[in-house]
A and B are shown apart, each in its own frame.
Chain A
């Protein structure tokens, strides 16, 4: 079982005076109670982790507490435990958008000695650039088309309103090209703004964007997980992703045509990037 080493988390809800334990079981000490009500995970029907609160539903009761009751490390540990148990028990699990894969996709595989280990915080600029690149991958042809269309439209408009003569032809062509370029740039800037917004919406939803992340790449699989809970013993097998895209700053792994994991190159020492690229290229198709 991946993430089997996570120590149970104790949460004290100040407002209600209730203490929760999230671990091998889910336990609730009601206000003033000496004995807890303890649930095994197969008794839990659903768990939801939102920006504001964590909610646990059983057949008869619903427990929820503010996320602020958990310190950052404890929050990641609690989420790690919930996702570990979600893999083994069939409760419904709702969560916000995530930057990195869920813990439930990890397998208990110990990386070999050939593993490349790195760590670092995710850089907003790098991520936005990656998002734009991902958009460009789809938009690049559209942008060219827009540019050419605008050029033609501008040229046509000039001809219609001013009339093309031998004298002004040399002015109108650069004007048309420039207008096509400007419109494309505007479209690009809009895309950039959208990408940034998209990144911010994910980053705001996932506190992992502001914490130290451990990255592992080896022949057996890869990992991108919060350093405070990752002990280096769990990996996501390569067959969990479909292909990858390499930018100058990141490796982006895709699953079902959606970005799945971002591995920033600067998390590793420069001399290892070649080796990492080789492993990824052997294991995945590049697009």
Chain B
């Protein structure tokens, strides 16, 4: 049966969402479970892998029985044997179409046909070519390690949608060549979209196409914009505020004659009690979501909704046995002398990390009065929790949010925390976050004062201050 691809544009909360339905897909790109490996002695970790064609590309170990709030252990698969040229050519053709000005849905048809059956959303978004921890993504996954931000649900963000923005490579590091990079150095300047990414888990997506372009962009400070494909399959439930019924005006109060001697006061309008918003319990779930978008059931076209109900993510492809056999093989690594440019690596270190991005999605804004309340050691203002009932968590989130959104406010807030000896539990963390700013004059002056001072309140971050001042001086002299 041939692949059926159907594209729909729907409106969700005023914004346009593109949905792509895939039936009889070729199962050339996807993720599936390879089960528990009892030989490893760990029977609580579920192993999955992401594959392209007949090659397992990324190993994903999901600890805690695959809990959706636990970060995953990720590594580039040792069983990757080589690029499937047909698929790779399809990626190249689709990226070229995108940059010729075609629409997302028209350009990516070949990639869509490689997906497994289901409903996907497609959009373009800017990505940081890092692993979410300041390392350039290509080559950052050679060893299995826990990758921050790969949990499907972030406890700080909760049920809100978020934009994935970190990358995982789909090609091994040895395929990097300076020769290809020289070509992409020029190409990226004129490209509308730099790569194609498939959302994997949490804040991380697999880059299907555009690895060399990512190096060029990171080196030259060009934003790395990707076309992103995300599966829509997770059910979600929101509470709907019940429509407030128009209440009939209260009967006019009978004017009472004021008691003798009492001063005649001008009648003040009595405040009409406004009904508190009631959470209406609706039968069943509200809709289905991907990482970046929540789509209520009513917004889905009928056939698309049926396709979601009829399909299942993480389904094993027909060539599952071949993939499994390859996962046990060991890749012959090519030796390469090509080294990533230093500027690209340095620039990546300065890019926002996962903690910052998470905080940015966790809260909408934070006012000066709320910051002052936090500095006073409170987690509530006017009876409402500012960020979290946990003070340490509130400070961490506020710091990261400000660092992501407004550097100047972040510096001021951090210094205020570090100056306050009552908040010394948060000093070390805050100092380390402040020290991430590479060339900030105010931070430099503060840290210099800290070193010069003998005050015991700075004891916890003296080493951080010392290192920052030394590096700042070194860079200044350069």
Stretch at the interface among B34-42, B359-367, B469-477: B34-42
Instruction: Evaluate contact between A60 and B283: CB separation under 8 angstroms.
Output: yes
Q: Does A4 contact B (CB under 8 A)?
A: yes
Chain B contacts for A107, CB-based, 8 A: 35-36, 43
Q: How many residues of B contact A (CB 8 A)?
A: 27
Q: Is A17 an interface residue (CB 8 A)?
A: no
The residues of B that contact A231 with a CB separation of less than 8 Å are 316
Is A5 touching B312 in the complex (CB atoms < 8 A)? yes
Q: Is A258 an interface residue (CB 8 A)?
A: no
A30-58 CB mask vs B (1 if < 8 Å, else 0) is 00001111111001000000000000001
Q: Is the C-beta of B244 less than 8 angstroms from some C-beta in chain A?
A: no
**In the docked arrangement, what's the CA distance between A37 and B283, Å?**
7
Q: Do A108 and B285 touch across chains, with their CB atoms under 8 A apart? A: no
- Residues 100-115 of A at the B interface (beta carbon under 8 Å): 107-110
Of the listed stretches A18-26, A158-166, A183-191, A246-254, name the one at the interface; the rest are far from the partner chain.
Answer: A18-26
Known: A40-B235, A61-B283, A108-B46. A220 touches B312 (CB 8 A): no
> Which residue on chain B has the smallest CB distance to residue A88?
B65
Q: Of the candidates A6, A7, A43, A60, which one forms a contact with B285 in the assembled complex, judged by CB atoms under 8 Å apart?
A: A43
Min Cβ gap B22→A in Å is: 15
Task: Decide: A35 and B297 in contact? CB cutoff 8 A.
Answer: yes
Of B233, B237, B312, B316, the residue contacting A233 (CB under 8 A) is: B316
Does A1 contact B285, Cβ atoms closer than 8 Å?
Answer: no
Cβ-defined contact, B310 with A10, below 8 A: yes
Q: Is the CB of A38 within 8 A of B235?
A: yes
Kindly supply a per-residue 1/0 record for chain B positions 26-62, scoring 1 wherever the CB is within 8 Å of any chain A CB and 0 otherwise: 0000000111101000010010000000000000000
User: Quick check: is A8 within 8 A (CB to CB) of the other chain?
Assistant: yes
A271 to B314 alpha-carbon distance, docked (Å): 37
Residues A34 and B302 in contact in the complex (CB < 8 Å), given A43-B285, A108-B33: yes
| Closest Cβ–Cβ distance, residue B271 to chain A (whole Å) | 36
In the bound assembly, the distance between CA atoms of A195 and B296 in angstroms comes to 55
Partner of A110, one of B35, B285, B305, B309: B35
Q: Is the CB of A25 within 8 A of B312?
A: no
Contact present for A109 and B35 (CB under 8 Å): yes
Contact residue among B233, B297, B314 (Cβ-Cβ distance under 8 Å from A36): B297
Interface contact A35-B285, CB-CB below 8 Å: no
Indicate if A245 sits at the interface (CB-CB under 8 A): no
Contact B302–A38 (Cβ < 8 Å): no
Contact A21 B33 (CB under 8 A): no
Say whether, besides A5-B315, A24-B312, A109-B35, A39 and B285 are in contact (CB < 8 Å): yes
Known: A23-B312, A25-B235, A233-B316. A4 touches B33 (CB 8 A): yes
* Cβ-closest chain B residue relative to A8: B310
A25 to B312, CA, bound (A): 10
Indicate whether A27 reaches chain B with its CB closer than 8 angstroms: yes
Contacts of A233 in B (CB 8 A): 35, 316
CB contacts (< 8 Å) of B311 on chain A: these are: 7-8
Flag if A6 contacts B312 (CB, 8 Å): yes
Known: A5-B316, A108-B36, A110-B324. A36 touches B285 (CB 8 A): no
Of A5, A7, A110, which contacts B34 at CB under 8 A? A110
Partner of B297, one of A1, A23, A38, A237: A38
Flag if B285 contacts A21 (CB, 8 Å).
no
CB-CB under 8 A from B35, the residues of chain A are 107-110, 233-234
> Within the assembled complex, what's the spacing in Å between the Cα atoms of A40 and B233?
11
B36–A109 contact, CB under 8 A?
Answer: yes
The distance in angstroms between the C-alpha atoms of A58 and B281, with both chains bound, is: 13
Q: Is B298 an interface residue (CB 8 A)?
A: yes
Give bound CA distance, A208 to B374, whole Å: 63
Instruction: From the candidates A27, A34, A40, name the one contacting B309 in the complex (CB within 8 A).
Output: A27
Shortest beta-carbon contacts, A-B, top 8: A108-B35, A21-B309, A37-B284, A40-B235, A110-B35, A38-B284, A39-B284, A38-B285
Q: Chain B: residues with CB nearer than 8 A to chain A?
A: 33-36, 38, 43, 46, 66, 233, 235, 237, 283-285, 297-298, 302, 305, 309-316, 324
Interface residues of A (CB under 8 A from B): 1, 4-8, 10, 21, 23-25, 27, 34-40, 43, 58, 60-61, 107-110, 220, 231, 233-234, 237
